[in-house]
Amino acid sequence: MDKLIIRGGNRLSGTIPISGAKNAALTLIPCALLTEEAVTLRNLPRLADIDGFQHLMTQFGVSHTIPGKRPDEFGRNVTLEAMRITSSVAPYDLVRKMRASILVLGPLLARTGEATVSLPGGCAIGNRPIDLHLKALEAFGAHIELAQGYVKASAPDGGLPGGEFDFPVVSVGATENAVMAAALCNGTSILRNAAREPEIVDLCNLLTAMGAEIEGIGTSELTIHGVDTLHGATYRVMPDRIEAGSYACAAAITGGEVRLEGAEAGDMGSTIHALRNIGVEIDSDKKGITVAAKGPLKAHNLTTAPFPGLATDMQAQLMSLLTRAEGTSVLKETIFENRFMHVPELARMGADIETEGRTAIVRGPVQLTGAEVMATDLRASMSLVIAGLAARGETTVRRLYHLDRGYERLEEKLQLVGADIERVGDD
């Protein structure tokens, strides 16, 4: 198994290209199940999760074509075609490693009238039940059964009639599943207290390009007028706001200056606000964002929240940055109850962090030192890389399969801006 070796202390400087968003791509891919025509997605990141989802799509009879492209280029274009659905079953072996697999439930149900999907896996960052996915689909007229680790959903004869659903709490995945299903319902569906994340806007924009009729895009109330059929489309995946925020933290912790080419500041408001309060300079234009840390970093209190609040996916990276800030910072995690698993690993590197429940207290600045650390989930992995870039000496990060799920060729991008980092095979 591979590991990363990081020799800290280099100031990052240069340009990093930002890839297509993983979280958006995993929502856009199942849209191909909603039409017989081809859906071409441009700027898909080359990630383990994307490859796994495409493999799952072949289970349903979806073909995918990847035009020739140099292997040293970031991103790729993929054409998906589901002319005929040959299976409506998503088996355990294909679903267990990736939570996003549940997003095939709504499209399969809407297109074929039935779907059997294994309960999903993914990062072990806390309890993430799918009950809201199922309740929303039931509100649209679906019959749901849970049996032997599978969700079995069926629609009435003639298809889902559509309906209304008020989310008791904001759920990104459930909103995505419901929107995809509603696009082919027989009537009008209304979702209230829907998630507003940029990735959901991206989903709605693709569905609209395919012929869906959606009102309220970008708001917490979505009205979807079901249509008989959707057609194919070509669509570019939005830039990855979490990847961009992660590299911003990497630049800042090294006192560097990095251009994040392709990053969209409009999707990163809460992250940019946090970085500026910590003392990081941020400039943006239509083509990207420039991040510079020219003075001392300052302590800052942060609380994660649904969009437009601070993304839970940025909490770990900002925590690493705050170990180098002057003063005491308090971070509150409101989304997941088990998302401080990176704290013991950061402590191995000299971080002064105390946790109590969903609150972490970070005291700084401390001089981080290199150590052997182990990744526990995707974003925790990146927090360890960020810490390693600022640490004195050599840091070894193990369990890279977490990183490979969400960061396209991470070490190559960091090498572009002067990081001393390499991937090596384990002994």
Q: What is the pLDDT of residues 170-189, one digit of tens each?
A: 999 999 999 999 999 999 99
* pLDDT value of position 122: 44
112 lies in the same domain as 228: yes
133 lies in the same domain as 89: yes
Helix (H) or strand (E) holding 270: helix 269-278
* Listed residues 215, 236, 257: the one ending a domain: 236
Instruction: Calculate mean pLDDT across residues 39-54.
Output: 92
Percent of the chain with pLDDT over 90: 82
Distance (Å, rounded) from C-alpha 4 to C-alpha 349?
15
Instruction: Calculate mean pLDDT across residues 238-244.
Output: 97
270 lies in the same domain as 394: yes
Name the 3-class secondary structure at 330. strand
Which residues are designated catalytic?
Answer: 123
CA distances from 345 to 232, 234, 328 (A): 46, 43, 19
Instruction: Calculate mean pLDDT across residues 287-311.
Output: 96
- DSSP designation for 399: -
Q: Give all strands of the β-sheet with 359-364 in edge-to-edge order.
A: 302-303, 327-332, 359-364, 352-356
95 lies in the same domain as 218: yes
Instruction: Calculate mean pLDDT across residues 107-127.
Output: 76
* Listed residues 174, 203, 236: the one ending a domain: 236
311 lies in the same domain as 292: yes
User: What distance separates the 2 farthest-apart alpha carbons in the chain?
Assistant: 65
Assessment of whether the complete model's pTM goes beyond 0.85: yes
The bridge status of strand 359-364 relative to strand 233-236 is: unpaired
Residues at the binding site are 22-23, 99, 128-132, 313, 335
Distance (Å, rounded) from C-alpha 180 to C-alpha 194?
13
Query: Which residues is 153 bridged to in the sheet?
Result: 115, 144
Structure tokens at 113: 């009238």
* Listed residues 184, 208, 236: the one ending a domain: 236
Instruction: Calculate mean pLDDT across residues 11-15.
Output: 98
- Say whether pLDDT at 267 is over 60: yes
Confidence of residue 12 (pLDDT cuts 50, 70, 90): very high
Helix (H) or strand (E) holding 209: helix 198-209
* pLDDT value of position 68: 60
226 lies in the same domain as 113: yes
80 lies in the same domain as 173: yes
pLDDT digits (tens, 9 = 90+) for 145-162: 988 888 999 999 999 999
95 lies in the same domain as 109: yes
Q: Give all strands of the β-sheet with 164-166 in edge-to-edge order.
A: 164-166, 188-192, 221-225, 213-215
249 lies in the same domain as 115: no
> Which residue type sits at 35?
T
The total of other beta-carbon atoms located within 10 Å of residue 280's CB is 22
Per the CB < 8 A criterion, the answer to whether 346 and 387 are in contact is: yes
* pLDDT value of position 65: 87
Per the CB < 8 A criterion, the answer to whether 203 and 25 are in contact is: no
Structure tokens at 295: 């003075």
CATH number of the domain residue 64 falls in: 3.65.10.10
279 lies in the same domain as 358: yes
> Which residue type sits at 20?
G
Helix (H) or strand (E) holding 422: strand 420-425
Residues at the binding site for UDP-N-acetyl-alpha-D-glucosamine are 99, 128-132, 313, 335
94 lies in the same domain as 157: yes
Q: What separation, in Å, do the N-terminal and C-terminal C-alpha atoms of the chain show? A: 8
26 lies in the same domain as 15: no
**In which domain, by residue range, is 329 found?**
2-19+239-425
Instruction: Give the chain's domain count.
Output: 2
Cis peptide before 120 (omega within 30 of 0): no
| Residue that is written with structure tokens 């003392």 in the block | 279
Instruction: Calculate mean pLDDT across residues 213-241.
Output: 98
Residues at the binding site for phosphoenolpyruvate are 22-23
